[in-house]
Structure 1
Amino acid sequence: MSQKITDVLMVGATGSIGQLAVRAAERHGLRPRALVREVRRAERLLPGVELVQGDLEDVASLRRAVSGADALILTHGSGGDARADARAHVDYGGVRNILEALDGARPRVALMTSVYATRSDIPGATPWKRRSERLLRASGLPCTIVRPGWFDHAGPTQRRLVLEQGGTADGGIARDQIAETLVRSLLTGTALGKTFELIAAEGEEPSDWTELFGTLKSDESGSVDGVLDPADLPVEAEPQTVRADLDAVRSLNESSG
């Protein structure tokens, strides 16, 4: 059964991708609501958009923000946060806290992570985005996970979207292409339950999004990993706190199901 989507909570809405995603949602007739920490700054960046004040590290504020949302687009990230553990608190902790705040509600979710989410061989890469993906899959929420390549490393004639799976993709993508893909994933049935890397190549814009998403394999039911993800980070080897978060999310899923 398709899920009617009107009200969309945008998390990371004042970021470079988030702002574009807000405008893409409006173009598609959706009603975006932006989660923001600083309302005055957000009013300048997102004129005319409904704002809700909240913080990804404050579950109580997130409960207010997610209330009534048919869907969520998550483009948040820890860039600019100088804390050594910022990725754990924001990239991962933000998803964990949102799932807790939903308290049984089941909106459709589009989560943006990274083309390198599963790559342990890339200098500076960390497993926190992959862990955030695992939480979302464990929640059982209807979702699509988009792993974009290098922002803006695509020329003006590279408008053909390349969707790959397995964590081996490498390439660039324009920011507006990421935003459009996130919004389209909420509105296209064949995107449901899919995880993919997203880069751009020479060619034209997609004309058939149903076919584009439809060529992908679905994530396996009950698995916390993407369908073709490498098996180099077993859950059993994860820190106890991460395993406890997965168990808590699974319990929420079972109690709401």
Structure 2
Amino acid sequence: MNGRPSTVLIVGATGSIGRHAVAEALSQGYAVRALVRDRARAARLLPEGVDLVIGDLTRPDTLGPAVEGADAIVFTHGSTTSERDVRDNDYAGVANVLRALGRRRAHIALMTAIGTTRPGVAYAQWKLRSERLVRASGNPYTIVRPGWFDYNQAGQRTIVMLQGDRRQTGSPKDGVIARDQIARVLIDSLHLDAADHKTFELIADYGPAQDDLTTVFHSLTPDSARSLDAAEDVIHLPLDHEPETFRHDLATISAGNDTAEG
């Protein structure tokens, strides 16, 4: 990465993870910008000092001011487990922001979910497609797949990063993590070189939180620059069988970045 970012755009800033991400970014000294639809509501929920920019993830024409001058973008938005909702909000939001960003470069921190690669789960496949767009964009990035939010016990504060997405019960047995821990990992990834081009599942184990996550990030296998998928994933989504919507977005977002392959 080319130095520490200074201005961070938080997408989903008023959500349960987004609010923690805003607080964490402020505490780490970033200038924080929040993409919001309702300024009055956002002003009630977010701390002073946050730059509130009006925009709608589903309306690409509203996103230019949000990405202008941002050198990091943190995606914390999320909807339901409905395929349509995830396609039209979670996935489309990532696609629209990346399109608005264009050829400008920003470090991307994308939150999806543990179990994203589960075969035959339609809504998860759209989360997976959003990951593929980020990898194809040519930006430095970190993709975080958290376990079940706030199911952890008080003593589970040690951050654990896994790869291969092999925990797929669809229950807290797959792993648990606190919301503030997710936010910390997302924001830490913006300035740690060891986090670049890494995709991982995020859970908590018993023990104290680490003061520095560099070693944890460093232990991970980086994604290949010549693949759309994470380093240790086993995925059966051939590009020529993908929906036209995705293939069009992929072609647009990867334009000028010829390193990605299906």
TM-score normalised to structure 1 length: 0.93
Distance 2:3 2:61 in 1: 26
The answer on whether the counterparts of 1:194 and 1:218 sit within 8 Å (CA) in structure 2 is yes
Q: Is 2:195 aligned against 1:191?
A: yes
Indicate conservation of the 8 Å contact 2:149/2:179, yes or no: yes
Q: Kindly provide the amino acid, as one letter, of the partner of residue 99 in structure 2.
A: E
The structural deviation recorded for 1:245 is 1.6
* 2:93 is equivalent to residue 89 of structure 1: no
Structure 1 CA distance for aligned equivalents of residues 6 and 230 of structure 2: 27
Cα pair 1:142 1:193 within 8 Å, conserved? yes
Letter in 2 for 1:211: T
Q: Distance in 2 between matches of 1:188 and 1:4?
A: 8
In the aligned structure 1, how far is the partner of 2:53 from the partner of 2:123? 32
**1:52 match:** 53
Give, in angstroms, the shift of residue 235 of structure 1.
1.8
* Residue 232 (1) aligns with residue 240 (2): no
Answer yes or no: is 1:142 the counterpart of 2:140: yes
**Which runs of 5 or more structure 2 residues have no equivalent in the other structure?**
168-173
Post-superposition shift, 1:251?
1.1
Shift of 1:37: 0.5
Aligned match of 2:117? 118
Q: Which residue of 2 aligns with 1:23?
A: 23
Kindly, what percent of the aligned residue pairs are identical?
Answer: 49
- Which residue of structure 2 lines up, in the alignment, with residue 127 of structure 1? 125
Deviations 1:164-217 (A, max 9, x none): 000113211000000000000111110000000000110110123111100000
Q: Are residue 6 (structure 1) and residue 6 (structure 2) matched?
A: yes
Q: Which moved more, 1:138-147 or 1:58-67?
A: 58-67
- The question of 1:163 aligning with 2:167 is answered no
RMSD of the TM alignment (CA)? 1.7
Structure 2 residue identity aligned to 1:4? R
CA contact (8 A) 2:102 2:253 kept: no
- 1:239 Cα deviation after fit: 1.6
2: distance between equivalents of 1:152 and 1:111? Answer: 19
Paired residues of 1:104 and 1:253 also in contact (CA < 8 A): no
Q: Distance in 2 between matches of 1:121 and 1:160?
A: 32
Aligned length: 251
**Structure 1 segments unaligned to the other structure (5+ residues):** none
Partner Cα distance (1:27, 1:128) in 2: 32
| TM-score, length basis structure 2 | 0.91
